[in-house]
Chain A
Amino acid sequence: MSILVFAEHDNSELKADTLKTVAAAQAIGGDIHLLVAGHNCQAVAEAASKVNGVSKVLVADNAAYEHQLAENVSLLVTELAADYNHIMATALTTGKNFMPRVAALLDVTQISDIIAVESSDTFVRPIYAGNAIATVQSLDSKKVITVRSTGFDAVATDGNAEIIAVDKVTDAGISSYVSEQLSVSERPELGAASVIISGGRGMQNGENFKLLDGIADKLGAAIGASRAAVDAGFVPNDMQVGQTGKIVAPDLYIAVGISGAIQHLAGMKDSKVIVAINKDAEAPIFQVADYGLVADLFNALPELESKL
């Protein structure tokens, strides 16, 4: 049995989530190959060759894959899929974007967002914002799977896989990249941070998110937000934690001025320790918090920063 895992990267760096997706592949078992599709992505290929449990790294380096357009990448992966039983990608925006296309081109349905592997055809995935956990058996001959990183522990990076160039160029010619606005931050990424401090509607405006900075600096934390704070324009969309935003499970999650809607809880309730600071003692966030503090955040945050 062999498994193709799509490497998540930005042409310069292999994303740590790929190590977790490889762990999911190992739980299925078989010969694991990593696909690096991008442009000028040799550094990623070399990092990928060190991922434990991977025997081959396939590198498709072409301008057609530079921005990992779904139309082009899905054609490439579909062609390669002939040699594999399982095709897997991390359930981040790139994998979520092109993988269902691969599934449809292969005439299979996709098993999305798995958090555990029961067997080579049976997987566990959250549904209804994580309020129910489904065990699903795929009846298709090939399995197309996206993996939720929080469900798996990263594999080590002391491997030595063979790097093989893939010459196939699949350019559908129906989509093109125009521009991007990337958020630049010195802080860890939400998906990789061991501590996250998030603000909600209670922060009142974007300016007040600066109150989280000093605490984040002291804890080496990433800063997140609830949907309400993003919708209100306080902070950009890439900070949103929740059912349809980023799913995180850090060692410590501090929710500030967040009421705790189902959709937000879906994105963070697997965190090891949850702290909630909210002035409303009835807020649902307190039901999932290990430590709750009923307080006005404008008093609590400066005090917390000074005492860390």
Chain B
Amino acid sequence: MKVLVPIKRVIDYNVKVRVKADNSNVDLANVKMAINPFCEIAVEEAVRLKEAGIATEVIAVSIGNKSCQEQLRTALALGADRAIQIETDESLDSINIAKLLQKIVEEEQPQLVILGKQSIDSDNNQTGQMLAALTGMAQGTFASAVSIDGDKVNVTREVDSGLQTLALTLPAIVTTDLRLNEPRYASLPNIMKAKRKPLVVKAAADFGIDLTPRTNLIKVTPPAERKAGIIVESIDELVEKLKNEAKVIS
């Protein structure tokens, strides 16, 4: 079966973002970018399905300007077979991203679509669920285990109260949580090989979808700073401060 893995180029998870002085947005100039960590887990899961003989082809897709080809090459180096870039210079709302991905699903007819549950920039946690709704597929979000069982996929989900396992009819959507797997590092030969794997570019405007923005970003501000704390020298001093200064224990 074919597995489609939509991925996103985001700020590197180790970088603390700064807000622009004019509060128009965050400042991403000269900031290190990377594949969204949850998307990397999605690629890894798809590649493992291929290595297990379950998936026949793994296709990575990303939406953005030319720079997202770098992340598509990362996915190819991790083991994806080919890649699709949907080119746009706009920052699209999730519903419009999901509509573009819906078109790719219609073209490619994958049995499984694996996405990251959330991107670490916009922190929306919605694209996978939206794609599931638009394609009429079942969804297994926040997955920590995925197993294909005939025409179904069993997905174990990380929920607030513990773990929940669902059985979904294929084709289905899975969104990854942190414990699903530990992504491999791309080896140098695989990075070289990835350069020769097919990467097709399609213009977002050619899909015939109305991509009009649904939101208006009014401003972006830094969070409230916490006032500087103090270092206490002993447990006795800590307990005294918590009782008498902070008054949070009695």
A: residues with CB less than 8 A from B are 10, 67, 69-71, 74, 92-94, 96-105, 107-113, 122, 125-140, 172-183, 191, 195, 219, 227, 230-231, 236-238, 243-244, 246, 251-252, 262-263, 269, 272-275, 281, 286, 288-295, 300, 303-304, 307-308
A140 touches B214 (CB 8 A): yes
A180 in complex: contacting residue of B19, B137, B162, CB < 8 Å: B162
Alpha-carbon distance between A104 and B217 when the two chains are bound, in angstroms:
20
Q: Interface size for chain B: under 10, 10 to 19, 20 to 34, or 35 or more residues?
A: 35 or more
Tell me the interface secondary structure of chain B in the complex: mixed
B: residues with CB less than 8 A from A are 11, 13-14, 16-19, 26, 38, 93-96, 98, 117-118, 120-134, 136-142, 144, 154, 157-169, 172, 177-179, 213-223, 226, 229-232, 234-236, 238-239, 241-242, 246, 248-249
Alpha-carbon distance between A14 and B38 when the two chains are bound, in angstroms:
31
In the assembled complex, which residues on chain B have CB atoms less than 8 Å from the CB atom of A113? 123-125
A246 touches B215 (CB 8 A): no
Q: What residue in chain A is nearest B165 (Cβ atoms)?
A: A178
B43 → chain A closest CB, angstroms: 18
**Centre residue among A97, A182, A236, A300 by max chain B CB count within 10 A:** A97
A134 in complex: contacting residue of B126, B132, B162, B217, CB < 8 Å: B217
A238 touches B123 (CB 8 A): no
In the assembled complex, which residues on chain A have CB atoms less than 8 Å from the CB atom of B157? 93
**Centre residue among B17, B121, B129 by max chain A CB count within 10 A:** B129
B216 touches A137 (CB 8 A): yes
B246 touches A97 (CB 8 A): no
A97 in complex: contacting residue of B14, B129, B218, CB < 8 Å: B129
A246 in complex: contacting residue of B118, B122, B136, B160, CB < 8 Å: B160
Q: What residue in chain B is nearest A101 (Cβ atoms)?
A: B133
A262 touches B16 (CB 8 A): yes
B130 touches A104 (CB 8 A): yes
In the assembled complex, which residues on chain A have CB atoms less than 8 Å from the CB atom of B249? 195, 219, 252, 308
Tell me the interface secondary structure of chain A in the complex: mixed
B227 → chain A closest CB, angstroms: 8
In the assembled complex, which residues on chain B have CB atoms less than 8 Å from the CB atom of A182? 161-162
Alpha-carbon distance between A269 and B229 when the two chains are bound, in angstroms:
13
Given contacts A127-B122, A138-B215, contact A132 B129 (CB under 8 A): no
B229 touches A291 (CB 8 A): yes
A280 → chain B closest CB, angstroms: 13
Alpha-carbon distance between A135 and B216 when the two chains are bound, in angstroms:
9
Given contacts A104-B133, A130-B223, contact A178 B215 (CB under 8 A): no
Alpha-carbon distance between A272 and B17 when the two chains are bound, in angstroms:
24
Alpha-carbon distance between A157 and B64 when the two chains are bound, in angstroms:
48
Alpha-carbon distance between A22 and B33 when the two chains are bound, in angstroms:
38
In the assembled complex, which residues on chain B have CB atoms less than 8 Å from the CB atom of A122? 218
B214 touches A74 (CB 8 A): no
In the assembled complex, which residues on chain A have CB atoms less than 8 Å from the CB atom of B158? 93, 237-238
B162 touches A291 (CB 8 A): no
Alpha-carbon distance between A219 and B167 when the two chains are bound, in angstroms:
41
A232 → chain B closest CB, angstroms: 11
12 A-B residue pairs with CB within 8 Å: A70-B129, A93-B159, A96-B141, A100-B125, A104-B131, A109-B215, A127-B220, A131-B223, A135-B218, A292-B231, A304-B238, A308-B249
A263 in complex: contacting residue of B13, B98, B117, B238, CB < 8 Å: B13
A101 touches B238 (CB 8 A): no
In the assembled complex, which residues on chain A have CB atoms less than 8 Å from the CB atom of B159? 93-94, 180, 238
Q: What residue in chain B is nearest A110 (Cβ atoms)?
A: B126
Given contacts A136-B218, A273-B248, A291-B246, contact A237 B163 (CB under 8 A): yes
Q: Beyond A111-B215, A252-B249: 13 further Cβ-contacts under 8 Å? A: A71-B139, A110-B130, A127-B121, A128-B26, A135-B220, A178-B154, A179-B165, A180-B162, A219-B249, A231-B179, A273-B242, A292-B230, A304-B238
Top 5 nearest A-B pairs (CB, nearest first) are A100-B126, A100-B129, A104-B133, A104-B130, A101-B133
In the assembled complex, which residues on chain B have CB atoms less than 8 Å from the CB atom of A112? 123-126
Alpha-carbon distance between A92 and B161 when the two chains are bound, in angstroms:
10
Alpha-carbon distance between A269 and B120 when the two chains are bound, in angstroms:
17
In the assembled complex, which residues on chain A have CB atoms less than 8 Å from the CB atom of B14? 262
A178 touches B121 (CB 8 A): no
B129 touches A101 (CB 8 A): yes
B126 touches A293 (CB 8 A): no
A221 → chain B closest CB, angstroms: 10
Alpha-carbon distance between A133 and B223 when the two chains are bound, in angstroms:
6
In the assembled complex, which residues on chain A have CB atoms less than 8 Å from the CB atom of B231? 281, 286, 291-294
Alpha-carbon distance between A175 and B142 when the two chains are bound, in angstroms:
15
A107 touches B95 (CB 8 A): yes
In the assembled complex, which residues on chain B have CB atoms less than 8 Å from the CB atom of A281? 231
In the assembled complex, which residues on chain A have CB atoms less than 8 Å from the CB atom of B11? 128
**Centre residue among B122, B226, B235 by max chain A CB count within 10 A:** B235
